[in-house]
A and B are shown apart, each in its own frame.
Chain A
Amino acid sequence: MSSYQLNYLEQLETESIHIFREVAAQFERPALLFSGGKDSITLVHLARKAFSPGAIPFPLVHIDTGHNFPEALQFRDWLAKEVRAELVVRKVEDTILERKLTEPKGKFPSRNWLQTYTLLDTIEEFKFDCCIGGARRDEEKARAKERIFSVRDEFGQWDPKLQRPELWSIYNGRIHKGENVRVFPISNWTELDIWNYIRNEKIDLPSIYFAHERDVIEHEGQLVALSQHVQPAEDDVILKKSVRYRTVGDMTCTAAVESNAATLDEVINEIISTRISERGETRIDDKVTEAAMEDRKKNGYF
């Protein structure tokens, strides 16, 4: 402390806490979009620090696709209790029934695109004027261009050409009625920054981030776990492998990584030596088109 200098993780933390406090002060009904993954768990940790000793002044909102890992759901419920935050869960399943949406078919039926409907309905239901998300700019091309305070129109749409200049650490969250701001406090963190921070701060994670045994099948070079949502085809070979997850999304669109890394240090070492990006290694849904994320964001996705 006596050197009056912050290391890079402390600098990133400082920026994120400042953003959280701006959100609490500028918006009437903010919400934290909680996915159960390491990025949103880190968000909750940062929010806790920003408002301590007070409670987190907004609810955690989980848009449940129905395809989640049970370990992630258990962890979600535990964490919400642990930090004394209100937890709002809305199910994509209900939206599908209510709005008579067509379920995607196929071997790996992703409800990723349908989440947007549930999200927008939830925003409408609670009149949320701000949704905090755990997106990082290093994840993907479209995200590299998005502001920390990203204004969405009443349809939740992002227009990359109409973004507000974001100068110094001044955040302009003023909106018209019906509009909504998505705020990304960890925009400037990379995957490795998150892991190192989790290690430094001793943040708890769901068990699926560490090596465990699972029945998997191979699909285009990726390992997909079998579950009630993913059934093997006749010609599939079922393998028993030691795997861990690098990201936690839906069971239908998240691939596992073969690994024996049982501790944080081992996981971090593997990530440092890996030569494949996080999305590339683990997301089955991003390969469809090169501009998949850009399209989803324009349509109101996180």
Chain B
Amino acid sequence: MDLLRFITAGSVDDGKSTLIGRLLYDSKNILIDQLEALEKSTKNRTDGSVDLALLTDGLRAEREQGITIDVAYRYFTTPKRKFIIADAPGHVQYTRNMITGASHANLIIILIDARQGVVEQTRRHSIIASLLRIPHVVVAINKMDLVDYSQDVYNNILIEYSKVAKQLELKNVSYIPISALNGDNIVEKSDLMGWYEGEPLLEFLEKVSVRSDVNLTDSRFQVQLVIRPQTEQLHDYRGYAGKIISGIYRKGDKVTVLPQQINSTISKLETGGLEVDEVFAPQPAIIHLADDIDISRGDTIVKSDNLPLINNELEVLLCWMDEKPLQPGNKYLLQHNSRLVKSSIKKIEYKLDVNSLQKQSAEGGVKLNEVVKVIIKTASPLVYDSYPKLNANGSAVLIDETSNNTVAAVLFQ
């Protein structure tokens, strides 16, 4: 049994909460006392039905104000898979929340209201899916009950969206007509849409292959901390602990330590407290090298025949996430996995309109939820890959040194 992380995207009335509620409810992941609490809070409804959307409701502060703060995580399990849903609300700070949720996702469900078809929000969500290279896209055409389960409506939306998908170079796009409210094509195939030949949504989510989402070709490992117990028995023990970001490492591999540019050989590998012959992404590991080299947190160990990029001036896409706009002259800390370096924005090239993908002038500054292409300069060289090539080694965050807040997502180009 494996794990699938996905995010749901939809505009305010597309039925996103109802869909998540339906998945939890129909896969029998809602328990009696949670249902009772739900029934209690919906007892004023005239039709007597349970409002599934309330299952994803969070804090009292939100209920009082009728808003959703931020990203919430939901869990459900079927006999085939464990699922983690990042539930990002469709309100003002949507870009920030969606990028946060999408950064953990193997798959995105884009909800389209069958009555509306592809709207501006759909385009925006798809652009973010494409910027973040989410490997799988499911277009869930919802509220089919309100268009008489019409195949024509479904086909027209499919044709319309495939143009968007083509323009954005989205890969692995699938289309499923559903009614989250009535449960059509969620767990069971709907009798009312006999013309639909594909799988219901849950079955699709259970089957979609996420194996190839992990890069096992380009070996990257960054040191999180150096383990030196310095006890009597382990007097000379010195291991580099970290996570295999991508690829496979084997005992005896010729490796290069970066940015020092020093070559060595893997003399010993450990994972979970056991010595092993090989480790692969995303396993945690401890690497030992044959030579005594000065290595510390944030340094990278790669195979010598497959090197990443090393630069201290690089082109990146920035998604700004702070209320305080980007201050062009300021220094920001850049955190690339476990590596922390000082940086500054050297030049803002353009702003990207997330509704149209048009490049715009960046005059007027960079504010919350805006995406910009910039040139960033770092105090010491970064060891990285481009985000499109290798997400896990191509992403970073910017931190405001004075507030300590995470203020931007960084995608290396």
Interface residues of A (CB under 8 A from B): 1, 4-8, 10-14, 17-18, 21-22, 24-25, 48-55, 137-138, 141-142, 144-145, 151, 160-161, 163-170, 172, 174-176, 187-188, 190, 192-193, 274-277, 280-281, 290-291, 294
Contacts and interface: CB of A to CB of B under 8 A. Distances in A.
A167 B100 contact: yes
A141 B59 contact: yes
A8 B3 contact: yes
A278 to B, nearest CB: 9
Given A145-B70, A291-B59, A166 B396 contact: no
Given A160-B70, A193-B82, A280-B31, A170 B397 contact: yes
B325 interface: no
Interface residues on B, range: 35 or more
Counting chain B CB atoms within 10 Å of each CB, the highest count among A54, A187, A190 belongs to A54
Given A21-B241, A188-B84, A144 B74 contact: yes
Counting chain B CB atoms within 10 Å of each CB, the highest count among A53, A274, A290 belongs to A53
A176 B404 CA distance: 8
Contacts of A172: 335, 397, 399, 404, 406
A50 B75 contact: no
Nearest to A281: B33
B59 A21 contact: no
A165 B282 contact: no
A141 to B, nearest CB: 5
16 contacts: A7-B2, A11-B2, A12-B3, A18-B284, A21-B284, A25-B225, A48-B273, A50-B241, A141-B59, A161-B69, A165-B96, A167-B395, A170-B335, A172-B397, A277-B31, A290-B60
B346 interface: no
B282 A11 contact: yes
A187 B73 contact: yes
A166 B100 CA distance: 6
A176 B391 CA distance: 31
Interface of B: 1-3, 31-34, 37, 57-61, 69-75, 77, 81-82, 84, 96, 99-100, 103-104, 211, 214, 216, 224-225, 227-229, 234, 237, 241-243, 248, 270, 272-273, 276, 278, 280, 282-284, 297, 321, 333, 335-338, 391-392, 395-397, 399, 404-406, 409
A24 B225 contact: yes
A24 B57 CA distance: 34
A141 B333 CA distance: 33
Given A7-B1, A11-B2, A275-B31, A54 B59 contact: no
A168 B103 contact: yes
Given A8-B82, A24-B225, A165-B100, A138 B75 contact: yes
Contacts of A8: 1-3, 81-82
A5 B61 contact: no
Contacts of B270: 52
Nearest to A192: B77
A290 B228 CA distance: 48
Given A5-B211, A21-B224, A275-B32, A290 B37 contact: yes
A294 B58 CA distance: 10
Contacts of B406: 164-167, 172
Contacts of A294: 59-61
A138 B272 CA distance: 26
Nearest to A176: B404
Contacts of A151: 404
A21 B1 contact: no
Contacts of B99: 165, 167
Given A145-B70, A160-B61, A170-B337, A25 B297 contact: yes
A17 B284 contact: yes
